[in-house]
A = this chain, B = another copy of it.
Amino acid sequence: MKKILVTGCAGFIGSNLVKFLLNKRYQVIGLDNLSTGKKEFLNEVLTSKFFTFHKVDLFKNDIKKYFKNIETVFHLAANADVRFGLKHRNKDIQQNIIVTHNILEAMLKHKVKKIAFSSTGSVYGESDQIPTKENCPFPIQTSLYGASKLSAESIISAYCEGYDIKSYLFRFVSILGEKYSHGHVYDFIKQLKRNKNELRVLGDGNQRKSYLNIEDCLEAMHIAMKYYKDDINIINLGTDEHCTVKDSIKTICKIMGTKPRIKYKGGKRGWIGDNPFIYLDTKKIRATGWKPKFTIKDSIEITSNYLLRSEWLLKKK
């Protein structure tokens, strides 16, 4: 039976991925330091005899032993906080760059041949090319998060060139769905639960983003890893739609049955390094035959309903 290692297995994407892989009958080992990941997200898989969880810090601990007899690593562990990148600058460097290097060294040690990596559309900075292709003009980094993810991508690529390792570098738009636990939908619902008559919004609400449903995302990764066979495979994952922050607010407010006063903080960007328009070209992933099952509106609804029935999650931090 094929053994797969998932780092960041208790995070939003990681915990959904573990479930997805178990359904496909893989044996899965999951690592997470539970700093932002949540043990609760693993409740439904912890009972499976095909899943083993280790609480381990990929930055501080020696992690090599977990890579023995692994066929594929899904490296999802990261500091995923784009917005506060500049408030704790060491985190992106340590968690996103050095940890990725640790993973690669562990892979070499145990001759693991394949890695899938969760990168981000943020590596395009504020591209002039929209929708943005994988080979768009060489971008300039605008966020420390994007910079650290591009660094990780680059280091992985160099290892693939030098050793017998194949990589899948997935550049995600924002992902939505069950277990989603940070980002603007989470923030808005949390605010409206506290006071349904007022909503404070960063930026002017006209920031345009694309969103992908977690189920579509996992299916796309799975298909891409069968379809593309280069040593280094760089693939955008997104939908052919985008919506404004104002659009998401409308959907959320409708679900919650409220019409709050909305206070915009103003400015094109929600924060320093925020990209006012993220929209990725998805021809490469669509060439595999994959297409998303959910619209952005579907995903916002699913996410909102999940959060509204998960009060424990809204109360966290």
Q: Which residues does A use to contact B, with CB under 8 Å?
A: 85-86, 89, 93, 97-98, 101, 105, 125, 134-144, 146-148, 150-151, 153-155, 157-159, 161-163, 232, 234, 272-273
Taking the nearest CB of chain B, how far is it from the CB of A144, in angstroms? 4
Task: Check A161/B137 contact, CB under 8 A, given A154-B151, A155-B93, A155-B151.
Answer: no
Taking the nearest CB of chain B, how far is it from the CB of A155, in angstroms? 5
Additional A-B contacts beyond A86-B158, A141-B158 (17; CB < 8 A): A86-B163, A89-B105, A97-B151, A125-B157, A137-B138, A138-B139, A140-B157, A140-B232, A140-B234, A141-B153, A141-B157, A142-B158, A144-B162, A146-B158, A147-B154, A158-B273, A161-B273
Chain B residues positioned under 8 Å from A85 (CB to CB): 158, 162
Q: Are B137 and A137 in contact (CB under 8 A)?
A: yes
Q: Which among B97, B98, B101, B147 is the interface contact of A158 at CB below 8 angstroms? A: B147
Taking the nearest CB of chain B, how far is it from the CB of A267, in angstroms? 14
Q: Are A86 and B162 in contact (CB under 8 A)?
A: yes
Taking the nearest CB of chain B, how far is it from the CB of A140, in angstroms? 5
Chain B residues positioned under 8 Å from A93 (CB to CB): 97-98, 101, 155
Chain B residues positioned under 8 Å from A135 (CB to CB): 137-138
Q: Are A138 and B141 in contact (CB under 8 A)?
A: no
What residue of chain B has the Cβ atom nearest to residue A136's Cβ?
A: B138
Can you list the 5 inter-chain pairs with the closest CB atoms, starting with the nearest? Answer: A151-B151, A147-B154, A144-B158, A141-B154, A147-B158
Task: Check A161/B142 contact, CB under 8 A, given A147-B154, A151-B97.
Answer: yes
